[in-house]
Amino acid sequence: MPTLLHARAETPMLPLLDKSKIPAHIAIIMDGNGRWAKSRRLPRLFGHRAGITSVREAVRACGDLGVKVLTLYAFSAENWARPGAEVHALMGLLQEYIVRELPELQKNHVRLRAIGRLEALPGGAQKKLADAAAATERNKGLMLVLALNYGGRQEIVDACNRALADGHAKIDEKILARYLYAPDCPAPDLLIRTSGEMRLSNFLLWEAAYTELYVTKTLWPDFRKPHLYEAIAEYQKRERRFGGL
């Protein structure tokens, strides 16, 4: 008999989750901030700012459920194409998030890391990320991975180049996997995209080969714990076959 995880008082809609089938790694494409703001006639930045509450909820809920890794797509390698003011605001929000949330992350034993071409981020963001990663390195709770200036194609190219630089003359799947940005993380079991778009947008192209996909129309700033539980409940109904029978 699987153990059932029951609703907490604040989430009456929580579906019963099978505690033995909690995904080890959840990845989220946090999309829809701009549309959320637009529907309220607010500047896009307000949507990004409101999305921080959703990040906090997702991190707490994943920690409570015993999820091992949560990877959040926060800024894609293609997002530099947005207006400079929006990019600047996003980089500012990122730094604000790290500084403001670090005490709670520590309290909850969260280990923070980042993946992507981090060297192209503003110096202040790089420094705060590196400091937070070092400060939380020994934490044994949830591993929170922020994908920043991240692209799946770029990750594969970077992995190949690093393997070549290390002297590998030929690349196979095993070798390439060792050169990914977070080679120690298991592949995501569940990938959630908010705002209804049915595409990967260059996220975890290698890692998501057999990941279960879940798309919700909910916009990221509206995403709360019950939405996460709903996604996990749906995941628990899936039959994963990995190409077999």
Q: How far is the CB of 83 from Mg ion (least distance, A)?
A: 14
At 81 the three-state DSSP class reads helix
Closest CA to 183 of 162, 213, 214, 197: 162
Q: What number of residues does the chain have?
A: 245
Contacts of 104 (CB under 8 A, 6+ apart): 56
Using CB distances below 5 to 8 A depending on partner kind, what does residue 201 bind out of ligand IPE, Mg ion, none? ligand IPE
d(CA 48, CA 221): 8
Q: 31 or 207, CB closer to Mg ion?
A: 31
Residue 161 annotated in active site? no
User: Any contact of residue 76 with Mg ion (CB under 5 A)?
Assistant: no
Options 31, 33, 189, 202, the catalytic residue: 31
Tell me which residue has its CB nearest to ligand IPE.
34
User: Any contact of residue 31 with Mg ion (CB under 5 A)?
Assistant: yes
Q: How far is the CB of 41 from ligand IPE (least distance, A)?
A: 14
Tell me which residue has its CB nearest to Mg ion.
31
Q: 31 or 189, CB closer to ligand IPE?
A: 31
User: Any contact of residue 155 with Mg ion (CB under 5 A)?
Assistant: no
Note the residues at the interface with ligand IPE (CB under 6 A).
Answer: 29-35, 73-76, 79, 90, 195, 197, 199, 201
Using CB distances below 5 to 8 A depending on partner kind, what does residue 117 bind out of ligand IPE, Mg ion, none? none
Q: How far is the CB of 195 from ligand IPE (least distance, A)?
A: 6
At 85 the three-state DSSP class reads helix
Closest CA to 52 of 72, 71, 25, 70: 72
Q: How far is the CB of 213 from ligand IPE (least distance, A)?
A: 14
Write down the H helix ranges in 41-110: 44-65, 84-107
The DSSP code sequence of 25-38 is: EEEEE---HHHHHH
Using CB distances below 5 to 8 A depending on partner kind, what does residue 194 bind out of ligand IPE, Mg ion, none? none
Residue 79 annotated in active site? yes
Q: 53 or 139, CB closer to Mg ion?
A: 53
Q: How far is the CB of 31 from Mg ion (least distance, A)?
A: 4
Exposed, middle or buried, 218 (CB in 10 Å: 0-12/13-18/19+)? buried
Tokens of 41: 């006639």
DSSP 8-state code for residue 166:
T
Options 18, 79, 108, 222, the catalytic residue: 79
In terms of phi and psi (left: phi > 0; alpha: psi -120 to 50; beta: otherwise), the region of 242 is left
Tokens of 30: 């946090």
User: Any contact of residue 193 with Mg ion (CB under 5 A)?
Assistant: no
Active site residues: 31, 79
